[in-house]
Amino acid sequence: MGYHEPSSRFIGGRLALDFVNLIPPNEELSWDQLIEFLESARIVTPERGGELLALNRSDRQAAESLLRKAQQLAAVLRLAFDAVLRRQKILREWIEPVNELLRITEGHDELVAADNDWEIQFIASESGLEWLLAAVARSAAEIIAEGSRARLRLCANPRCGLFFYDTSRTHRRRWCSMTVCGNRHKVAAFARRHASVGHAGH
């Protein structure tokens, strides 16, 4: 499925995984990508998203400060999730940026009208922009706290690289998406079988 494809945005099953899945390991998140994510994840309304996009010009310092925090969060979460996958130690220095965001998340939940439904939305008492990353930090904290019990997986397609949370009944999900990566694998396996049959000359 791969990065930069809109369809890959929310296959993670957990907000923190979708956040890390936004960009490949060696790329840095851009302001536009961050705001688009916040909108798609419904952390901000499209109206607020539009205002935030403009912030990059109107208050560059505030925008850059938030973007740096988001980039740092993405980087440490990738390290932490890789460590969870490999059953390795999660370092305190990766945890600190997560805790920093959790600390500023005082507030309360409220029911907010969304289209024809009601949604629970977090209303922060803090007016700073960092609270925009709070839900991602909270989601990441839950996965990290689950540790080796977390059903965190990396797509079995080595060229894919997307994380997902395995909620399947058998806990044997291997692909970010059966229709994309899983299907590609099946096609390749079929081609290999077909080729070897051909070589054997029946």
Which residues are at the interface with Zn ion (CB under 5 A)? 1, 155, 157, 160, 176, 181
Between 24 and 128, name the residue whose CB sits nearer to Zn ion: 24
Longest Cα–Cα distance of the chain, Å, equals 73
CB of 153 to Zn ion, least distance (A): 10
Q: Which residues contact 80 (CB under 8 A, 6 or more apart)?
A: 90, 94, 95, 98, 140, 144
Between 57 and 171, name the residue whose CB sits nearer to Zn ion: 171
Q: What is the 3-state secondary structure (H, E, C) of 31-58?
A: HHHHHHHHHHCCCCCHHHHHHHHHHHHH
CB of 142 to Zn ion, least distance (A): 23
CB of 140 to Zn ion, least distance (A): 21
**Which one-letter amino acid corresponds to residue 184?**
R
Residue 111: which H helix or E strand, with range?
A: strand 107-114
Between 23 and 176, name the residue whose CB sits nearer to Zn ion: 176
CB of 2 to Zn ion, least distance (A): 7
CB of 29 to Zn ion, least distance (A): 20
Between 114 and 156, name the residue whose CB sits nearer to Zn ion: 156
Q: Which residues contact 25 (CB under 8 A, 6 or more apart)?
A: 78, 161
**Which one-letter amino acid corresponds to residue 182?**
G
Between 21 and 56, name the residue whose CB sits nearer to Zn ion: 21
CB of 164 to Zn ion, least distance (A): 8
DSSP state string for 59-107? SHHHHHHHHHHHHHHHHHHHHHHHHHHTTPPPPHHHHHHHHHHHHT--E
Between 95 and 154, name the residue whose CB sits nearer to Zn ion: 154
